[in-house]
């Protein structure tokens, strides 16, 4: 296995993997799957658990261990009736695990505020709200439509149905990450690819980004890279303008336990004739025991506060424990690519265009 020393993370996700196997269930509207009795009669209740941000150690911390989780890497519109031009898409993709069986939204857009995408482009994920536990099976439910008229009755059904994720017959070693798989969902009026993987022995990394100062006209793109087998895989967390001050939504990522996370900030401005240019900075977060790591960085005319919390998933409904200590935050040279330390490394990349 490659050590990745000095290697630039790849922007291309692999389409091969053997950790998860997917089986198509009832892909007919109205038969969104209750794959087993666990979800029989399940309703569209939303997952209640928020990302954990505890700062102190609890007495029962030794009772908690990393768990296997499902991580979504991307959702992409592969084919739509509109080949040339933009498509307005709305609806949801959500996961139900065996912790509470409730909807944990990965993508969720209303008809009044659809996402505008082109064929072949990513559909920005809006979740999950919490990590997705893989005890034995995870149900992925979806209902997405293309806004094509003034009334909802005129819209086209993009995809509708459900699939399951479960353990592959051969379970690899916890220290041997496998690349994500791409599951192609073919609907009545298009095709959507979802890319996902199992992160074994994982903890929950919750990232909070607060914009304290910003120059008008700036765009912010947040992506994360996880070391999966022999290459980096990207998770695009956010892409858009940041004309207003304040906190972005929390970003929840499943990360291999006892790993290093690198945060990269690249700040720029899209205004014509702008003299402010771009700036880049790397931060390194060391996953250790308990707590939170935070850092304020200033790049050109943009000031960003970053907090990173590490937690373990609650077991048997007991309180969760944090897994990041207030720790090592090391600012790296703005032009330096981080040196990766083996197969347990997770790279979280924040890019500002």
Mean pLDDT, the chain, whole residue set: 71
Condensed to tens digits (0 to 9), the pLDDT of residues 252-300 reads: 988 888 776 677 777 776 544 455 667 777 777 765 555 688 889 887 7
The pLDDT-based confidence of 242 (bands split at 50, 70, 90) is confident
In angstroms, the first-to-last Cα distance of the chain is: 33
Q: How many other CB atoms sit within 10 Å of the CB of residue 299?
A: 18
pLDDT at 154 over 70: yes
Rounded average pLDDT over 216-222? 77
212 phi-psi bin (left φ>0, alpha ψ -120 to 50, beta other): alpha
pLDDT tens digits along 168-191: 533 455 555 667 889 999 999 999
Judged against a pLDDT cut of 50, whether residue 246 lies above it is answered with yes
Identify which has the larger pLDDT, 342 or 139. 139
Q: 10 Å Cβ neighbour count for 161?
A: 21
Using DSSP's 3-state secondary structure scheme, residue 165 falls into strand
pLDDT for 257: 80
Q: What is the pLDDT of residue 10?
A: 27
**Which residue's entry shows tokens 């959702």?**
75
| pLDDT score for 23 | 34
Give strand ranges (E) for the chain.
Answer: 20-24, 67-79, 86-96, 104-109, 115-118, 132-133, 137-146, 156-167, 181-186, 191-213, 219-228, 231-241, 246-247, 251-256, 260-267, 279-286, 292-299, 302-311, 329-332, 346-352
pLDDT digits (tens, 9 = 90+) for 40-98: 445 566 765 565 555 554 555 555 678 889 999 999 999 999 888 899 999 999 999 98
Please tell me the pTM assigned to this model: 0.75
Q: Which residues pair with 266 in a beta bridge?
A: 280
Alpha carbon distance 255, 257 (integer Å) = 6
CA 34 – CA 164 distance, rounded (Å): 10
- Residue bearing the bigger pLDDT, 291 or 110: 110
**201 with 256: CB under 8 angstroms?**
yes
Distance CA 102, CA 254 (A): 19
Distance of alpha carbon 181 from alpha carbon 196, whole angstroms: 6
Most trustworthy range by pLDDT among 197-211, 230-244, 280-294? 197-211
- pLDDT above 90: residue 199: no
What is the model's pLDDT at position 101?
85
Torsion of CA 307, 75, 279, 332, to 10 degrees: 50
Which has more pLDDT, 314 or 303? 303
Helix (H, G, I), strand (E, B) or coil at 153: helix
Residue 193 clears pLDDT 90, i.e. is over it: yes
Would you say 154 and 176 are in contact if contact means Cβ atoms under 8 Å apart? no
Buried b (16+ CB within 10 A) or exposed e, 114-123: bbebebeebb
């Amino acid at each position: 296995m490659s050590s990745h020393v000095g290697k630039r993370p790849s922007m291309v996700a692999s389409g091969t993997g053997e950790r998860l196997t997917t089986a198509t269930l009832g892909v007919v509207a109205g038969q969104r799957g209750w794959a087993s009795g666990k979800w029989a009669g399940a309703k569209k209740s939303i997952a209640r658990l928020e990302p954990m941000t505890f700062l102190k150690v609890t007495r029962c911390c030794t009772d908690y261990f990393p768990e296997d989780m499902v991580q979504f890497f991307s959702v992409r519109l592969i084919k739509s009736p509109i080949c040339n031009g933009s498509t307005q898409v709305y609806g949801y993709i959500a996961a139900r695990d065996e912790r509470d069986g409730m909807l944990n939204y990965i993508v969720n857009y209303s008809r009044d505020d659809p996402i505008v995408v082109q064929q072949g482009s990513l559909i920005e994920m809006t979740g999950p709200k919490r990590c997705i536990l893989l005890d034995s099976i995870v149900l992925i439910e979806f209902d997405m439509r293309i806004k094509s008229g003034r009334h909802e009755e005129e819209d086209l059904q993009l995809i509708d149905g459900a699939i399951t994720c479960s353990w592959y017959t051969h379970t690899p070693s916890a220290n041997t990450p496998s690349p994500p798989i791409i599951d192609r969902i073919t609907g009545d009026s298009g095709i959507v690819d979802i890319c996902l993987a199992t992160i074994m022995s994982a903890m929950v990394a919750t990232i909070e980004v607060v914009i304290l100062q910003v120059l008008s006209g700036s765009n912010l793109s947040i992506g994360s890279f996880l070391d999966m087998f022999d290459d980096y895989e990207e998770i695009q967390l956010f892409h858009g303008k940041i004309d207003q001050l304040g906190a972005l939504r929390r970003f929840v990522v499943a990360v291999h336990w006892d790993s290093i996370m690198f945060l990269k900030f690249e700040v720029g401005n899209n205004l014509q004739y702008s003299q402010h240019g771009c700036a880049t900075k790397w931060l390194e977060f060391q996953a250790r025991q308990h707590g939170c790591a935070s850092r304020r960085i200033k790049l050109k005319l943009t000031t960003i506060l970053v907090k990173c919390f590490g937690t373990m998933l609650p077991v048997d409904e007991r309180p969760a424990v944090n897994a990041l200590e207030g720790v090592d935050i090391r600012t790296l040279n703005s032009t330096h690519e981080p040196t990766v330390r083996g197969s347990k490394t997770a790279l979280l990349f924040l890019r500002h265009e």
